[in-house]
Chains A and B, each alone.
Chain A
């Protein structure tokens, strides 16, 4: 997966490339022309040539180089940022269509996985700036210098091309072995991270069993082995950079040696000297070129990884606008329950969901309550449920339902945005917050337009905001997953009672592992 050029950035990239060329040529000529100038005045005094390229030349190149470098950096970043904006918005939409989002446990809800993912996105975003642009200018400069050498001192091409071949060979090695090392580092990191996560999650049992130290040490050792794989990559880079560092000086020496060998003398040597010093300046620019290769191999790895997420993405089918259909009853004679990965759970059940009375799914942990809710909401499977005289597909149910996930989170945004109530009036929002007993807390935080983050709230508060979203939802099908989790018994009961009364006219399904539920509820007991 490569980042596409955004139309708005194309001009910036052109400008950046122009600046990059200008900067590199100024740098090369600054060295070359200065040397040539010194040589010519030393030999011939104030010659016509020295007058033509008078002493302002070096100063001109110096200022030109500085300005062009600045322009290159700025326009390059501008172009990359413009690409980044477009790319990230596209990626966000593609991720939303990825099937993994609707399955169990959103992996990128986890800090560590999210950090890895963001690294990948950044590697994609900046590859053009880190590798594409400098490589383009260096190759052009190289071509010109080689052409110059071919004209002035053809024999010097022999060592130059030998060294270039060595560079290519080493570069190829870095590209291949480096990509493998990078892949190994990534997989070791992932393995160590999930191992450490498992160890941390079982801290109390492991400590009690005196097994914590060993498990933790092994998880950390895996992370250190990942650093070891990175060390290998850096060693490969160092080898390539060494050959790269020799390229400019060797070429310069060769040009001078061949010119001398050809019997040139005095002023005849001035042009070769210009070329030789240009090669030296080029050598400076090549410094650390292995970073470009690493940027490319990181981009490739990142592209493959992100491609995994978006590969099976269904093309965004337009959801029918809510209100078109207003089902009063949903039924399925023999619904085969499915786990998020598609496996069948238990025997098919008969499902009859109606408005007026909430349906309660009870069952032990692991009995598939959340999966069934997602199946009803059209998040898992492609079942068709009957609604009166029509059939509702999974996609249609997705549009008609409000799924209140037990692991729903807070967006870093305003309280208002977090309630997802569109342009509902403030009074309605406050009423919802009051119903879930969050009005005081939100008042304290600064009202509806206060900027909030997940870590400012306790789990119970997050759950209550989540229930306020359900309160404000206008969809005819409301699915509540463990609505009283993280709330104490009395408060949970109070809020749920209010919410169910408020949603009386909708089809409501509640999953819970608690026994106490409102009297008029229909109960479905799930067995694993």
Chain B
């Protein structure tokens, strides 16, 4: 986890310093985890109780001793209760994980909220989506399910051993004694797995994502007529990877095998000891002179002793996934802003903007036109004096990456523009040529895909201008006429000029015609940057 040097200030660690997804998730998990543990322990205890009652009933029955009705009743009640406790534990676990994943996502959202716009823009959108979609859930499984399994690995066997002590502390001791041996094996195998996995990562890591990569790059492969070769290559690489994976699994499954072995072996050893005890062939302390029900009881409890180990080892995948998810969230949400290029012109710029009129910011690419717009909107930390900023005003931003919600064209134009009548919508849309666009059949009722995926940059920009006109806000427009055909560019210029009669419109532009129409021109290549139109 990456930590920033600045110490955390304030009570909410998400607000400052590193994100620390895992710690945040653990905090969110606390209340649910407690409930989950209570239910899991209850399930284990009730299950042990059932085993005791059932063993006693069956043992007495077979030996020919009277079976008390309360014993049978107790067994049934305990069984039912343990099943219900199991249901409660499963449900509580699912809910707790859901609480954590939602909470973590909310925290991550807050964190994204605090990021400056330029940093947000630089984040890879695909990884942000993957992170927000999957990682909270995976981190939740780590701090709830896996954590509970870890704790139960201590509590479950202790409980089983304690219950066993009622009948034979020697049997309990045998099981407890076997545990360190098992753990030693675990550690040895674990090391071997890690070594193998590292070696495999070095040798085959490149092949791991080949299928995904070839699906991702499919159009490029087709465009280059490489399908036949790539198909054969993919088959070869997948086979290599599968073979090396089997090599790794061969060792990894030993881990599960160890638990199986000890669980089975302990039952076998106990059965043999107890049998010898009953035969009076050997006098093993704690194993001879037991009644049948006691022997059966020991036999039934022994698997319960090992069950938590098995459940824990099944969580291995959840652990690896959860840790990777938490790390990925940290990486994403602790991204440092990329250092902005120094723009001394902007730092020395003193602007006083009128309440209405068209202001054109001109200058070659890279001279800071867009940066100036962002500073005006208060989206950059440094820069303009408070007087020059428009941050407190309501702003309509016009650019080719303007937001388009899902729905009809009418909804897209009216989005965030306040209450607008259908007539005004129609006027604004037609003035900018949106209604006779060949690619938007259906006029105002044309369906737009999610996020305007079926729109060109020019179409988005025109939607944004129509919206800006309706909203009555100050307009900041970034290259509003670039990439447009002549007529549409002319319509955009007309619209911006019309808006500037009642409001302030600031455009960053390369377009000479638009700059010529401005009341004030800010030329970022010159020191005496500002000149008013004659």
Asked whether any CB of chain B lies closer than 8 Å to the CB of A323, the reply is: no
Contact of A198 (CB < 8 Å), options: B242, B261, B275, B451: B451
Instruction: Decide: A196 near B128, CB < 8 A? Known: A69-B257, A69-B260, A96-B222.
Output: yes
Contact of B403 (CB < 8 Å), options: A81, A205, A250, A345: A205
Contact of A211 (CB < 8 Å), options: B83, B299, B403: B403
Compute how far the CA of A409 lies from the CA of B292 in the bound complex, rounded to whole angstroms: 72
Question: Which listed segment binds A: B104-112, B172-180, B188-196?
Answer: B104-112
Instruction: Decide: A215 near B132, CB < 8 A? Known: A110-B126, A249-B79.
Output: no
Within 8 A of B (CB), among A317-364: 319, 322, 339, 343, 345-346, 363-364
Contact of B218 (CB < 8 Å), options: A101, A115, A202, A513: A101
How many chain A residues touch the partner (CB < 8 A)?
A: 146
Q: Which residues of B contact A62 (CB under 8 A)?
A: 261, 264-265, 267-268
Q: Which residues of B contact A108 (CB under 8 A)?
A: 215-216, 218
**B440 → A minimal CB distance (Å):** 10
A110 nearest in chain B by CB position: B126
Instruction: Decide: A195 near B451, CB < 8 A? Known: A43-B63, A92-B231, A115-B134.
Output: yes
Contact B457 A199 (CB under 8 A): no
Compute how far the CA of A101 lies from the CA of B398 in the bound complex, rounded to whole angstroms: 33
Contact of B484 (CB < 8 Å), options: A193, A365, A473: A365
Compute how far the CA of A322 lies from the CA of B225 in the bound complex, rounded to whole angstroms: 10
Asked whether any CB of chain B lies closer than 8 Å to the CB of A269, the reply is: yes
Contact A89 B231 (CB under 8 A): yes
Compute how far the CA of A473 lies from the CA of B224 in the bound complex, rounded to whole angstroms: 8
Asked whether any CB of chain A lies closer than 8 Å to the CB of B516, the reply is: no
Q: Which residues of A contact B276 (CB under 8 A)?
A: 55
Compute how far the CA of A197 lies from the CA of B404 in the bound complex, rounded to whole angstroms: 11
A65 nearest in chain B by CB position: B264
Contact A66 B260 (CB under 8 A): yes
Contact B260 A81 (CB under 8 A): no
Contact A246 B79 (CB under 8 A): yes
Question: Which listed segment binds B: A30-38, A136-144, A433-441?
Answer: A30-38
| Chain B binding surface, main DSSP class | helix
Asked whether any CB of chain B lies closer than 8 Å to the CB of A46, the reply is: yes
Compute how far the CA of A212 lies from the CA of B114 in the bound complex, rounded to whole angstroms: 11
Instruction: Decide: A365 near B268, CB < 8 A? Known: A253-B76, A265-B64, A403-B223.
Output: no
Contact B217 A411 (CB under 8 A): yes
Q: Which residues of A contact B156 (CB under 8 A)?
A: none
Contact of A412 (CB < 8 Å), options: B206, B279, B300: B206
Contact of B256 (CB < 8 Å), options: A34, A73, A201: A73
Contact A197 B129 (CB under 8 A): yes
Compute how far the CA of A27 lies from the CA of B261 in the bound complex, rounded to whole angstroms: 11
Contact of A202 (CB < 8 Å), options: B58, B245, B281, B403: B403
Residue among B134, B268, B437, B458 facing the most chain A CB atoms (10 A cut-off): B268
**A340 → B minimal CB distance (Å):** 10
Contact A38 B279 (CB under 8 A): no
Q: Which residues of B contact A365 (CB under 8 A)?
A: 400, 456-458, 483-484
Contact A92 B214 (CB under 8 A): yes
| Interface 1/0 per residue, A213-230 and B, CB below 8 Å | 101110110011011101
**A472 → B minimal CB distance (Å):** 9
B437 nearest in chain A by CB position: A528
| Interface 1/0 per residue, A266-304 and B, CB below 8 Å | 100110010010001000100000000000000000000
Question: Which listed segment binds A: B22-30, B117-125, B147-155, B317-325?
Answer: B117-125
Instruction: Decide: A235 near B91, CB < 8 A? Known: A203-B117, A206-B403.
Output: yes
A420 nearest in chain B by CB position: B224
How many chain B residues touch the partner (CB < 8 A)?
A: 143
Contact of B216 (CB < 8 Å), options: A109, A215, A257: A109
Q: Which residues of B contact A31 (CB under 8 A)?
A: 267, 299, 303
Asked whether any CB of chain A lies closer than 8 Å to the CB of B75, the reply is: yes
Contact of B123 (CB < 8 Å), options: A50, A200, A260: A200
Contact B453 A208 (CB under 8 A): no
Contact B83 A280 (CB under 8 A): no
Within 8 A of B (CB), among A83-101: 84-85, 88-89, 92-93, 95-96, 101
Compute how far the CA of A66 lies from the CA of B72 in the bound complex, rounded to whole angstroms: 34
Asked whether any CB of chain A lies closer than 8 Å to the CB of B165, the reply is: no
Compute how far the CA of A70 lies from the CA of B253 in the bound complex, rounded to whole angstroms: 7
Contact A193 B133 (CB under 8 A): yes
Compute how far the CA of A195 lies from the CA of B402 in the bound complex, rounded to whole angstroms: 14
Contact of B238 (CB < 8 Å), options: A39, A41, A84, A219: A84
Q: Which residues of B contact A50 (CB under 8 A)?
A: 275
Q: Which residues of A contact B98 (CB under 8 A)?
A: 227-228, 230-231
Instruction: Decide: A246 near B83, CB < 8 A? Known: A224-B102, A411-B214.
Output: yes
Compute how far the CA of A95 lies from the CA of B118 in the bound complex, rounded to whole angstroms: 37
Question: Which listed segment binds B: A237-245, A388-396, A491-499?
Answer: A237-245
Q: Which residues of A contact B456 (CB under 8 A)?
A: 365-366
| Interface 1/0 per residue, A92-122 and B, CB below 8 Å | 1101100001100110111110110110010
Q: Which residues of A contact B437 (CB under 8 A)?
A: 528
Compute how far the CA of A26 lies from the CA of B260 in the bound complex, rounded to whole angstroms: 12
Contact B220 A409 (CB under 8 A): yes
Residue among A35, A235, A319 facing the most chain B CB atoms (10 A cut-off): A35
| Interface 1/0 per residue, B132-151 and A, CB below 8 Å | 11101100000000000000
Q: Which residues of B contact A407 (CB under 8 A)?
A: 219
Contact B401 A77 (CB under 8 A): no
Asked whether any CB of chain B lies closer than 8 Å to the CB of A234, the reply is: yes
| Interface 1/0 per residue, B234-249 and A, CB below 8 Å | 1100110010011001
Compute how far the CA of A235 lies from the CA of B98 in the bound complex, rounded to whole angstroms: 12
Contact B129 A196 (CB under 8 A): yes
A116 nearest in chain B by CB position: B133
Q: Which residues of A contact B265 (CB under 8 A)?
A: 59, 62-63, 66
| Interface 1/0 per residue, A53-64 and B, CB below 8 Å | 001001101110
Q: Which residues of A contact B455 (CB under 8 A)?
A: 366
Contact of B451 (CB < 8 Å), options: A201, A204, A253: A201
**A411 → B minimal CB distance (Å):** 5
Instruction: Decide: A209 near B395, CB < 8 A? Known: A31-B267, A73-B256, A241-B86.
Output: yes
Within 8 A of A (CB), among B43-86: 50, 54, 57-58, 61-64, 67, 72, 75-76, 79-80, 82-84, 86
Compute how far the CA of A177 lies from the CA of B426 in the bound complex, rounded to whole angstroms: 45
Contact B211 A30 (CB under 8 A): no
Instruction: Decide: A213 near B219, CB < 8 A? Known: A62-B268, A204-B397.
Output: no
Contact A74 B105 (CB under 8 A): no
Contact B129 A238 (CB under 8 A): no
Sample of 21 A–B contacts (CB below 8 Å): A63-B261, A69-B260, A70-B256, A82-B242, A102-B222, A117-B215, A192-B133, A195-B451, A198-B450, A204-B399, A207-B377, A209-B397, A209-B416, A227-B137, A231-B98, A253-B72, A260-B61, A319-B225, A364-B483, A366-B458, A409-B216
The 9 closest A-B pairs by CB, nearest first: A366-B456, A111-B126, A198-B451, A62-B264, A238-B90, A364-B485, A234-B94, A112-B129, A202-B403
**Apart from A88-B234, A270-B62: 6 A-B pairs, beta carbons within 8 A:** A38-B296, A42-B62, A84-B238, A111-B130, A195-B406, A202-B403
- Which residues of B are in contact with A by a Cβ distance under 8 Å? 50, 54, 57-58, 61-64, 67, 72, 75-76, 79-80, 82-84, 86-87, 90-91, 94-95, 98, 101-102, 105-106, 108-109, 112-113, 117-118, 120-121, 123-130, 132-134, 136-137, 206, 209-227, 230-231, 233-235, 238-239, 242, 245-246, 249-250, 253-254, 256-257, 260-261, 264-265, 267-269, 271-272, 274-276, 278-279, 281, 291-292, 295-296, 299-300, 303, 374, 377, 379, 394-406, 416, 437-439, 441, 450-453, 455-459, 464, 476, 483-485, 488
